Amino acid sequence: MTISVGKRPVVAVLYREALPPRLDEVEELAEVRLTKAGGLAEAMNGADVLYQWHSFSPALRENWAAASSLKWVHVSAAGVGQLLFDELINSDVAYTNSRGVLSRAIAEFALGFVLDIAKDSRGSLRLQQGRRWQHRVTRRIQGQRALVVGTGSIGREIASLFRAVGLQVSGAGRSSRPGDEFFDEIHSSAELAITVNDFDYVVLAAPLTDDTKHLVDAQVLSAMKPTAHLINVGRGELVHTDALVHALRSGSIAGAALDVVHPEPLPEEHPLWSMENVIITSHMSGDTEHYLEDLGKLFVENLKRFNRGEPLQNVVDKKLGFVPVP
């Protein structure tokens, strides 16, 4: 998508607490208006760009009537399906996300989950804490099979790392199609219930859309191998949480590793916390050292493109809710 404003643009920057990095570079390229959610309507008056550093704020939806001059919205997150609404979707406003910035880090986290599960790191920690020397055997991951649900930037990075350590990797996307350099084959995510039974790890890395909400439900979980593990580094609502609890309790699946959950944060009394076959981390798989700098760098580069009238990077198909893979 090509946009040219022909003047020094006005950028409204929506933040919650800390300001985005590289703000000095943004100020060299545009007139900047800093605002929290309560002042967004005023900040957007006459603005060309909304830089949504407060990634998951609903403020744009709530103040859409004041967005009449907007030409472009950029969000400092990869998953944006829950931020889209009809007025925005049907408008001419370009919408970009931060796809790709966190992909490698998330892939490393997913591989870490696989290694934790196969080598029983939690079991070793419990033995260490009990000062017990107990020899055990663990699982070898070479030759095991993983299904990565979501074949975009994150899914491809996961597949690349998994293949490097000897896993056999297939994908699941919007439609079934031949395999490629990342995936042995690609299944339709709508047919997970007849696909998952062949895999030792089912890894969720899909965006959250109307089509993917509760994609992993009781039917899918019951179709998984009883020795299989579910890994979620995508969005919590990709999984029906109550069905997952039931599958874990009944032994329908062997375990789960969850960087994202629903609801989030997980309530203190939720049963997932106390399950020995569950690993939970706090929605942090993409958050490595300097990741905020990388997010800021992407926006600066896109703002330069905007000023030059060049195509923007990471343009979201607003009807689909994500950046389509070529």
Three-class SS state of 250: helix
* 204 closest CA partner among 244, 176, 166: 244
Side-chain-facing half-sphere of 294: CA atoms under 13 Å: 16
Beta bridge partners of 232: 204, 258
Whether 231 and 244 have beta carbons less than 8 Å apart is answered as no
Residue from 187, 235, 240, 262 carrying the catalytic annotation? 235
Residue from 42, 264, 276, 293 carrying the catalytic annotation? 264
Radius of gyration of the chain (CA): 21
CA atoms of 203 and 111, how far apart (whole Å): 10
16 catalytic, yes or no?
A: no
Q: Dihedral sign, CA of 42, 43, 44, 46? A: positive
Residue from 104, 270, 283, 305 carrying the catalytic annotation? 283
268 catalytic, yes or no?
A: no
264 catalytic, yes or no?
A: yes
Cα separations in angstroms, 105 against 147, 171, 190, 233, 258:
19, 19, 27, 11, 15
The DSSP bridge pattern shows strands 145-149 and 72-75 to be unpaired
The DSSP bridge pattern shows strands 185-188 and 177-178 to be antiparallel
* 119 closest CA partner among 148, 144, 155: 144
Q: Which residues are catalytic?
A: 235, 264, 283
